[in-house]
Amino acid sequence: MTMSDERTPTPDPGTDDTEGQDILAEIRAEVAHDLEDERPPAGGPAYQIVGALVALVVGIGGAVLAYGYGLGSPRQPGPGLWPFVVSMAITLLALGLLMVGRNLSDSEAFTRSSMLPVVGLATFVGLGVLMPAVGFEIPSLLLCVIWLRWLGGESWRSTIITSVVTVAAFYFLFLYGLRIPLPHLF
């Protein structure tokens, strides 16, 4: 085979690639339109301020709780050092959003789906309350089921398999791998 036999195919002069580009542009426009239809309504600056205030409360609350655990020193960090650092970062970012949030308009209005994080937080607090009373396994399994099935919309089969495997993995990791003395049934 000679060099002249190894030619790259040349496009037919009678056809052009604009048809392929038109289809691609049409698909992009359709996807953008579908995404726009699914977006919650715009919230405006007031929602920016509310979001910043919520983040500020979370940041300050986390910093206070972390400080209570003890910060230690950079050479010998206490259990609260990194949570304190993260909480302070959240606080500073929230303060920044409070300063510029009135000029922003890219927030989304609160909708029914805005309550999902609140439900997630409430179930996580429930885990903490139930764990000393009934052990690690049952509350963790309930938390996984609620998060996967009702907050995540997973199928029952996926929810059950993932929940059982996750709780078993954390059980062995915490109790045997890390030797953390969690209350447990087994």
pTM value surpassing 0.85: no
Residue 79 has pLDDT above 80, yes or no: yes
Cβ–Cβ < 8 Å for 119, 152: no
Average pLDDT estimate for 58-64:
93
Q: How far apart are CA 33 and CA 110, in angstroms?
A: 21
Q: Which of 52-66, 73-87, 142-156, 172-186 has the lowest mean pLDDT?
A: 172-186
Residue 6 has pLDDT above 80, yes or no: no
The confidence band for 185, taking pLDDT boundaries of 50, 70 and 90, is: confident
The confidence band for 31, taking pLDDT boundaries of 50, 70 and 90, is: confident
pLDDT in tens, 9-30: 555 555 556 666 788 888 888 8
Q: CA Rg, the chain, in Å?
A: 26
Where does residue 44 fall: left (phi above 0), alpha (psi -120 to 50 degrees), or beta otherwise? left
Query: How crowded is residue 63: how many other Cβ atoms within 10 Å of its Cβ?
Result: 20
Q: What angle do CA 73, 74, 79 make, to 5 degrees?
A: 65
Q: How far apart are CA 26 and CA 36, in angstroms?
A: 15
